[in-house]
Chains A and B, each alone.
Chain A
Amino acid sequence: MPFIPHTEDDVRAMLAAIGVKSIDDLFDEIPASLRGGALAMVPAGVSEMEITRLMHERAERDGRWLNFIGAGAYEHHIPAAVWQIATRGEYYSAYTPYQAEASQGTLQLLYEYQSMMTSLTAMDVTNASLYDGASALAEAVLMAVRVHKSSKRVLMPATVNPVYRKVVHTIVKDQHIEIIEAPYCTECGHVIPAALQKFTGQDFAALVVPQPNFFGVLEPVDELTARAKQNRMLTIAVVNPISLALLKPPGEWGEGGADIVVGEGQPLGVPLASGGPYFGFMACREQHVRQMPGRIVGRTVDVDGKPGYTLTLQAREQHIRRSKATSNICTNQGLMVTAATIYMALLGPDGLARVAQACHSNALKLAQQLIALPGIKRAFSGPVFHEFVLCLNAPVADVLQALKAQGILGGLALTRDYPELGDALLVCATETKRDDDLKRYADNMKRILGSRFRPAPCALKPAT
């Protein structure tokens, strides 16, 4: 019996103590008509050796690829110490630190995490995590509406990750919150602040400002934040935490900075892993902290005056306030934050800046090599961080398929979400790429596009 330690003697003694004849008797309050039900679709149990073999086979089948896809999830080197420590049983198999005295490890780590994120974003406070970047943006929209009080409309540029916009729609739509799309400039790839003029005078709770945006392009964040303030809107920043080592933090944008900052925490030491688990982060101004969703850790003292840490401001949360809570969130992404904290501690300010700079340089290098090829041009003139959009003179799906045949995942096709851009491809290069990786991508791209434009005068005969 896997993971059940009972011996036959134990079971006999326990049943005798309870005063029943069999374990079945313990289910006597369940109506007889409900008991049973075969588990035909559940196979018989296997040993650890057998499941190990199966999982290795499946993992090997999925293989390893030279990946240039970003689009919200980024490949970074993760120091070995990060997950060796994060998977220590003391972190991994504990739960939400309800008993503070028995959870000082997790609580102090979360306080350190909050401190690091607060400083990285240049905001006053952060929570202990939300599920992911997309759901964090949805929570930010709900929070902005609570803070603003009078408006239930939010202005959302089309340069925000399209999946994030879908998730926001799912989560806020039943509360009668309206999301209005703001246009972007198809030449520069970012929002033109003056183009928001047409919304002036309308009633909005917030403006969402992504930095970098989904195209990898840098938005004019100062102007956008200032414009939001002038129109009595909150600014919700959506940022990449690695980029904040190089880019102006949202707390310093425009006049007085952003009001709420959210983002995907995955780049900070969390593996890509087909999409999760990741974690969302959220920061805000101290005056709005009581409207913030999620767990928050505070520093205090014990009865002897010794410093210690505890969950605080719990009156915002569902287990206290029930239907009046700021959110329904309970379990969040604690272990991912544990990894992120260790990651940031290992890298420090200098290491994080090196990672960000290496990503930026690699993206520029790859873009230079690719746009030098016939049949490719940069889609946008705006400056980028570590991702950029190309316009191809060939069907993007075919090009990606041909790259994949060479072991390269060439990026994300934008044809479905941005049909106006034609055969557009979103490409990312992080610090994990060496010069020969970039060259391999460019060489293959050259060959693939070249073969499309200049069919070989004498085609090779197929092997017989």
Chain B
Amino acid sequence: MLIFELSRPGRRNASQAPLAVPGLSAIPEDCRRTSRPLLPEVSELDAVRHYTNLSRQNFSIDTQFYPLGSCTMKYNPRACNHLAMLPQFLARHPDAPADTGQGFLACLFELQEMLKNVTGMAGVSLAPMAGAQGEFAGVAMIRAYHTARGDSARTEMLVPNAAHGTNPASAVMCGYTAREIPTDREGSVDLAALKAAVGPRTAGLMLTNPSTLGVFERTILEIQQIVHDAGGLLYYDGANLNAILGRVKPGDMGFDVIHLNLHKTFSTPHGGGGPGAGPLGAATKLLRYMPLPVVAMDGDNYRLQDETDLPQSIGRLSAHLGNAGVLLRAYIYARLLGREGMQRVAEYATLNANYLMTELRKAGFEVAFPARRASHEFIVTLKDLKDKTGITAMDVAKRLLDKGFHAPTTYFPQLVPECLLIEPTETESKQTLDAFVRAMKEILEEARSQPELVKTAPHTTPVRRLDEVRAARELDLAWRGTDHAVGG
């Protein structure tokens, strides 16, 4: 039932809005609203019960194992949320003077310093509000660098064909043509193809390492040499930083500019689709182009740098400071982990992924790159199962929901047929991983004994498989107050 269907004319929450409203008005007649917006008229209890019950129709990390590959769905410590929501932090206006926010800015400055250290970059800007905005900013910095050198022939951004869709989309937003580089049979960037692709038109290469195929680019030092020799710069997509946190620094691999996803590696909540945060790290030669604002320390005082400090900055990405509250949560997480805790992140994320991969192979699943070590995630391909039984990766994913597990990422990367991209993260126990293996094994047995059960899954969720074609063809994107309204 929709909240609108609970609505009754005249029902309202007296305590939620001002009681006595003065009637002063200076709004001209022709600027006034005459139609009443179709907002629900419900009691506080109606609203609380409705949205509490709706929440129970969600799978989440707090309720289920959520091995969604490439998304790093690890436990979000409650202290991070609680402490970022202290009343003084919440009440502070973004344009309030810096001396009213020294406590807040101290956290951000220290976060910047820690991120510089773990990424091995010369400087960090916390401005980007998500990974894709970090990509945009990083590529814009690469463009600013070439432009400042008068090197205007560089019009192509190279992107592996296994890359996240955001990479080519970000390159295009910066005015580049995205040129895809193929992947070899072992899941690595095809070096010969890369050599053939680079040249005077190459602005740079965007690379995720470990890649979206769940393997470390072993030839990263050669890759960076090839791109740099051609005059291009190297962009690091930090989506998979959890796999190497505290073990390898992107700066040491030769990357010139990077973003990292705090909602992945630094465990800020994914919120049902955000907010994230995509801080950017830059090598010395790109520091002057960093997006604003950057937190600076002058003597004992923290302040936000602006256009006068960084006149060559690519500019601003948000009205204020990016997703400030997400940055606070990441800061608290980083302090809880500390140096040793941060190093253990990659170790145990990798241990869990390799253990799960091993156990799933034993259970009869085919992994996409059996000769390779898994990073923090790995790919299972169900092509053989589909050929034999007609059961697809989507069917298996849906059947997992019946067994109380969120599905892995399906059909990405697109170059592996019928794939599941599985990322267990370091916060899951061996017992949870074992339970997941048992569920996968059961599904494999069901695929042989009762294939219809799997093909028609899920059976226990609030709705069964949805008609997505109808959703796109007969667009119903908003309740209009007539079609499914309930009378009196």
Q: In chain A between 316 and 336, which residues have their CB closer than 8 angstroms to a CB of chain B? A: 317-325, 327-336
Return chain A residues, CB-CB under 8 Å to B352.
14
Q: In chain B between 168 and 212, which residues have their CB closer than 8 angstroms to a CB of chain A? A: 168-175, 177-178
Interface string of A291-320 (1 = CB under 8 A from B): 000011111111110111110110101111
A141 within 8 A of B: no
Q: Choose one: A58, A100, A336; the contact of B107 (CB below 8 Å).
A: A58
A174 within 8 A of B: yes
Return chain A residues, CB-CB under 8 Å to B252.
34, 37
Q: In chain B between 335 and 365, which residues have their CB closer than 8 angstroms to a CB of chain A? A: 335-344, 347-348, 350-352, 354-355, 358-359
Apart from A115-B38, A342-B47, list 14 A-B contacts with CB within 8 A. A5-B429, A46-B335, A51-B332, A94-B270, A96-B274, A119-B38, A274-B320, A276-B275, A277-B324, A323-B168, A323-B177, A330-B164, A349-B37, A349-B39
Q: Contacts A92-B76, A273-B325 known; A176 to B272 CB distance under 8 Å?
A: no
Asked if B336 contacts A102 (CB within 8 A), the reply is no
Q: Contacts A28-B373, A59-B87 known; A274 to B324 CB distance under 8 Å?
A: yes
Asked if B272 contacts A163 (CB within 8 A), the reply is no
A345 within 8 A of B: yes
CA distance A426 to B84 in the complex (A): 29
Q: Which of A298, A310, A342, A431 has the most CB of B within 10 A?
A: A298
Q: In chain B between 251 and 270, which residues have their CB closer than 8 angstroms to a CB of chain A? A: 252-253, 261, 263, 267, 269-270
Asked if B175 contacts A176 (CB within 8 A), the reply is yes
Return chain A residues, CB-CB under 8 Å to B89.
59, 62, 273-274
CA distance A349 to B26 in the complex (A): 21
Stretch at the interface among B124-132, B225-233, B279-287, B381-389: B124-132
Stretch at the interface among A179-187, A197-205, A353-361, A369-377: A353-361
Distance of B301 from chain A, by nearest CB (Å): 12
Asked if B173 contacts A171 (CB within 8 A), the reply is yes
- In the complex, 29 of the A-B residue pairs with CB atoms within 8 angstroms, ordered by the A residue number, are A4-B344, A5-B427, A5-B428, A6-B348, A23-B351, A39-B246, A51-B83, A51-B332, A61-B103, A62-B102, A79-B16, A103-B272, A108-B2, A111-B478, A119-B39, A163-B320, A218-B28, A264-B319, A272-B94, A274-B92, A276-B326, A279-B275, A310-B466, A321-B169, A329-B132, A331-B130, A335-B275, A336-B271, A349-B39
Q: Choose one: B62, B73, B318, B464; the contact of A101 (CB below 8 Å).
A: B464
A-B contact count (CB 8 A): 687
Give A121's nearest chain B residue, CB to CB.
B37
Return chain A residues, CB-CB under 8 Å to B11.
348
A210 within 8 A of B: no
Give B359's nearest chain A residue, CB to CB.
A17
Asked if A42 contacts B342 (CB within 8 A), the reply is yes
Asked if B324 contacts A85 (CB within 8 A), the reply is no
Give B64's nearest chain A residue, CB to CB.
A102
Q: Choose one: B84, B129, B463; the contact of A308 (CB below 8 Å).
A: B463
Return chain B residues, CB-CB under 8 Å to A122.
35
Asked if B477 contacts A248 (CB within 8 A), the reply is no
Distance of B379 from chain A, by nearest CB (Å): 16
| Chain A residue total in the interface (Cβ 8 A) | 201
Q: Contacts A93-B270, A345-B51, A409-B96 known; A273 to B33 CB distance under 8 Å?
A: no
A114 within 8 A of B: yes
Q: Which of A133, A320, A349 has the most CB of B within 10 A?
A: A349
Asked if A365 contacts B467 (CB within 8 A), the reply is no
Q: Contacts A310-B471, A344-B39, A354-B21 known; A39 to B316 CB distance under 8 Å?
A: no
Stretch at the interface among A63-71, A143-151, A227-235, A448-456: A63-71
CA distance A296 to B475 in the complex (A): 10
A131 within 8 A of B: yes
Asked if B319 contacts A91 (CB within 8 A), the reply is no
CA distance A258 to B395 in the complex (A): 44
